Amino acid sequence: MLGKAQRRLVVPFLLPALALLAVFFLYPLVRTAQLSGYAFERSGAAAFAGLGQYARLAGDPDYGNALKNTFMMTFVGGCMLFPPAVAIAWALNQRLRGERFYRFVVFAPVVLSVAVVSLMWKFLLHPTLGLINPALESLSLGGLARTWLGDPATALPSVAFVSVWHGIGIWVVLLSAGFARLPAEVLEAGRIDGAGEWRLFRSAMLPMMRDLFRILVVLWFVQSMQAFAFVYIMTRGGPFGSTALAGTLAYSVAFDQGDLGYAAAMGVALVVIILVGTLVLNRVMRRDALEY
């Protein structure tokens, strides 16, 4: 009886969220899956293609390249994001002088729109008009100057860096909350036993935050696999397709080539890849609960 009473109380509060989920996620997903079964022409005519679009997708080198770039963006961005985010969050939890100012500096880029950040960094990274290369030359590091967004070797890491710079504040806040909830008595016991701050960080704090790290890695995977705006504004997938991602390629196929069915198949395939990747990450990173 208690279970039924709880359900009667909870379900009405869940209905608005479920309705929004159905309208803005489930229906578009089902509609996209339907579209992927048709081949569209520029005139708008559509012919049923069944699974033909997915067979075409399996042998498409452009989509394979886009998937490779998407995974590379996820990996490179994750390597750029998590070490500094953990270090900054740990430092901010040491009660530094001017802590509020540092928190503001770290979080400030988050409030800027993606379009503003992309255009700003596109100008900064410009090989002749930007400020990055002149700054390197003024520091006698002119050998590091590059055509950052025009070189296939540096274009994708540059976009990944901008994405991380824009959003790192959110991850610092989440990690700071994780550090703040660690049991003070455990850390104090370590200090009494003579452990330094680095030893406490490595041997006590990080293991106790393992579940939080797993959640954040999964969130980063889901977010970065859907990356679109930074690449579209900064490089449009160039140079030579070195920054083309699954999302930008699907957009180009849909609106530049008018092949909505093939673009829908790309979207469905990406959803499946994200779901499988999320399950694998959860399984690989899951550990026995740590009690403290």
3-state secondary structure 60-90: CHHHHHHHHHHHHHHHHHHHHHHHHHHHHHH
pLDDT recorded at residue 172 = 95
pLDDT recorded at residue 258 = 85
pTM: 0.89
Instruction: Determine the residue type at 15.
Output: L
Residues of the chain with pLDDT under 70: 1-3, 44, 288-292
How far apart (Å, rounded) are the C-alpha atoms in residues 168 and 165? 6
pLDDT recorded at residue 191 = 83
pLDDT recorded at residue 292 = 52
Asked if 132 and 124 touch (Cβ cutoff 8 Å), the reply is yes
pLDDT recorded at residue 290 = 56
Asked if 98 and 150 touch (Cβ cutoff 8 Å), the reply is no
Helices first, then strands: H and E counts in the chain:
15, 2
Residue 188 phi/psi, 5° resolution? Answer: -65, -35
How far apart (Å, rounded) are the C-alpha atoms in residues 106 and 101? 9
pLDDT recorded at residue 1 = 45
Domains of the chain: 52-285 (1.10.3720.10)
How far apart (Å, rounded) are the C-alpha atoms in residues 181 and 204? 13
pLDDT recorded at residue 240 = 92
